[in-house]
């Protein structure tokens, strides 16, 4: 059983590490690790009729990796609570730790989408014997009171993942359209699922330290909240 997994990652677009590219690197590492632990998508659906769903994430780097640097994402799991599984990450560039991240996942029924108490199923993994120090902490993500309309987007087939909803990274890519730039930090809360063909209205705001983006469904309900921080000059 692999307790800690290291995955080599490269940016998908133009050699630039945007927030979406960084989130994509985390997603690839999480998928590979889940498969190695036999808790990936196919097994969870087949054995438990359930899906892992990301609800919160935070990442922060001290610097962005250069396009020619070897970036490695290291990931491991904490002991689950009854309602949540927390996954930690480190970003390493050419052997130097340059950042960390944390993801919070819930397990939901694949059909009804209600949360499953993790105590109701067998223990799914063992804790790492020598887990790296946990650096990243989640905090309350509060948006500014005034947000400005920043357009609307329709969810495409290409943005739908194996869970049948908009992929976690696709939200970040869409939000970047409203808050372009390079950032070393990202916080996101996924409030409600967004499905194929849905119309998302984007709203944005900014202060001295960050840019904020919110996605609102046609029902008026909030789909996601996002904060980009640690702005970098263009490379």
Q: What is the DSSP letter of 209?
A: S
The pLDDT of residue 84: 92
Mean pLDDT for 48-77 is 93
Q: List the structure tokens of 83.
A: 């309602």
Choose among 61, 7, 65: nearest CA to 31.
7
For residue 154, the model assigns a pLDDT of 97
pTM of the model: 0.93
Please work out, in degrees rounded to the nearest 5, the angle formed at the alpha carbon of residue 149 by the alpha carbons of 185 and 218.
100
DSSP 3-state of 199: strand
Higher per-residue pLDDT: 80 or 28? 28
Strand order, beta sheet including 222-232? 5-9, 71-77, 85-93, 96-109, 50-61, 182-190, 222-232, 210-216, 199-206, 148-154
The per-residue pLDDT for 233 is 66
H or E element that contains 178: helix 168-178
> What percent of the chain is modeled with pLDDT above 70?
95
Q: How confident is the model at residue 12 (pLDDT cuts 50, 70, 90)?
A: confident
pLDDT at 135: 63
């Amino acid at each position: 059983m692999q307790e800690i997994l290291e995955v080599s990652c490269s940016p998908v677009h133009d050699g630039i590490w945007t927030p979406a590219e960084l989130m994509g690197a985390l997603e690839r590492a999480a998928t590979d690790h889940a498969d190695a632990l036999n808790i990936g998508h196919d097994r969870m659906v087949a054995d438990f009729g359930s899906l892992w769903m990301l609800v919160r994430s935070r990442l922060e780097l001290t610097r962005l990796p250069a396009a020619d640097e070897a970036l490695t994402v290291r990931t491991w799991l904490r002991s689950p609570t009854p309602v949540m599984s927390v996954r930690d990450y480190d970003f390493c560039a050419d052997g130097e730790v340059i950042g960390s991240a944390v993801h919070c996942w819930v397990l939901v029924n694949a059909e009804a989408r209600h949360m499953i108490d993790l105590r109701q199923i067998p223990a799914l993994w063992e804790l790492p014997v020598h887990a790296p120090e946990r650096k990243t902490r989640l905090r309350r993500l509060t948006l500014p009171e005034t947000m400005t309309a920043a357009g609307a987007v329709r969810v495409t087939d290409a943005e739908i993942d194996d869970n049948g909803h908009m992929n976690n990274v696709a939200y970040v890519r869409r939000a970047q359209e409203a808050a372009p730039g390079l950032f070393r930090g990202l916080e996101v809360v996924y409030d409600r699922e967004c499905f194929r063909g849905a119309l998302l209205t984007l709203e944005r705001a900014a202060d001295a330290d960050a840019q904020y983006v919110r996605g609102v469904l046609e029902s008026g309900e909030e789909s996601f909240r996002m904060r980009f921080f640690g702005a970098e000059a263009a490379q």
